[in-house]
A and B are shown apart, each in its own frame.
Chain A
Amino acid sequence: SQTIHQWPATLVQPVGSPLSLECTVEGTSNPNLYWYRQAAGRGLQLLFYSVGIGQISSEVPQNLSASRPQDRQFILSSKKLLLSDSGFYLCAFRKGSYSNQPQHFGDGTRLSIL
């Protein structure tokens, strides 16, 4: 079976510090990968998605970037965090492209910027 891991679960960072959140998937090859942000009481906002190694699509302009250095690894980064970057960050995967399979989510990272 496929599993997805995200870490850390909670992170408190000062404004202006860098960020690196990691997500890995097990049990499937060439998954589609996604980063979402969920603000309190609001829906899911898609930030980035990737259909293959080194292929990153950005959905919204922002202070964040994403990379996919390996098939099943997805990283969310920032060089300098802003207060507005606070939120709940979720990684998700879908089994392959054109598969019409649903997305499955990790348990998220709660990021607080001070």
Chain B
Amino acid sequence: QKEVEQDPGPLSVPEGAIVSLNCTYSNSAFQYFMWYRQYSRKGPELLMYTYSSGNKEDGRFTAQVDKSSKYISLFIRDSQPSDSATYLCAMTRISSNTGKLIFGQGTTLQVKP
């Protein structure tokens, strides 16, 4: 079993839809959670970074963490064609000297105009 599971998709939605992207994990030592967006032929770009359980909002993006269920989500409101990309979840243990991240496989999202 992988430490982090993420449905690779692809996920196709119409413009304006609410998108829900999810990851599950098995290791309760993970305390910091990140979402990255990766456009084709580009490096991953940090979208959201959270620590505690609950919600964190930034514009059209909301990150949700449920540590009791070992489940994290990224919601995109009013999705736009420019949101079409691969979304990677990542997580790490607390106070790690190495800062090594465990990544999900990534979910490919297509937003159709």
Which one, B14-22, B53-61, B66-74, B97-105, is touching chain A? B97-105
Among B8, B88, B99, point to the contact of A44 (Cβ < 8 A): B88
Determine whether B78 belongs to the interface, using a CB cutoff of 8 Å to chain A. no
**From B45, which residue of chain A is reached at the shortest CB distance?**
A105
Interface residues of B in 1-17 (CB under 8 A from A): 8
Determine whether A90 belongs to the interface, using a CB cutoff of 8 Å to chain B. yes
Which one, A13-21, A63-71, A79-87, A106-114, is touching chain B? A106-114
Interface string of A66-102 (1 = CB under 8 A from B): 0000000000000000000000101010100111111
Q: Is the CB of A100 within 8 A of B43?
A: no
Interface size on B, residues (CB 8 A): 27
Q: Is the CB of B99 within 8 A of A105?
A: no
Q: Is the CB of A107 within 8 A of B106?
A: no
**From B33, which residue of chain A is reached at the shortest CB distance?**
A102
- A100 and B32 CA atoms in complex are apart in Å by 8
- A88 and B43 CA atoms in complex are apart in Å by 9
Q: Which residues of A contact B96 (CB under 8 A)?
A: 98, 100
Q: 28 pairs across A/B with beta carbons < 8 Å? A: A6-B43, A32-B98, A41-B8, A43-B88, A43-B103, A44-B88, A44-B103, A51-B97, A92-B43, A94-B99, A97-B97, A97-B98, A97-B99, A98-B96, A98-B97, A100-B32, A100-B95, A100-B96, A101-B99, A102-B34, A102-B49, A102-B90, A103-B34, A103-B90, A106-B43, A107-B42, A108-B41, A108-B43
Interface residues of B (CB under 8 A from A): 8, 32, 34, 36, 41-46, 49, 51, 88, 90, 92, 94-101, 103-106
Given contacts A43-B106, A51-B97, A90-B44, 18 further A-B pairs with CB under 8 A are: A32-B98, A42-B105, A43-B103, A43-B105, A44-B103, A46-B101, A51-B98, A57-B98, A88-B41, A94-B99, A98-B96, A100-B32, A102-B34, A103-B99, A105-B45, A107-B43, A108-B41, A108-B42
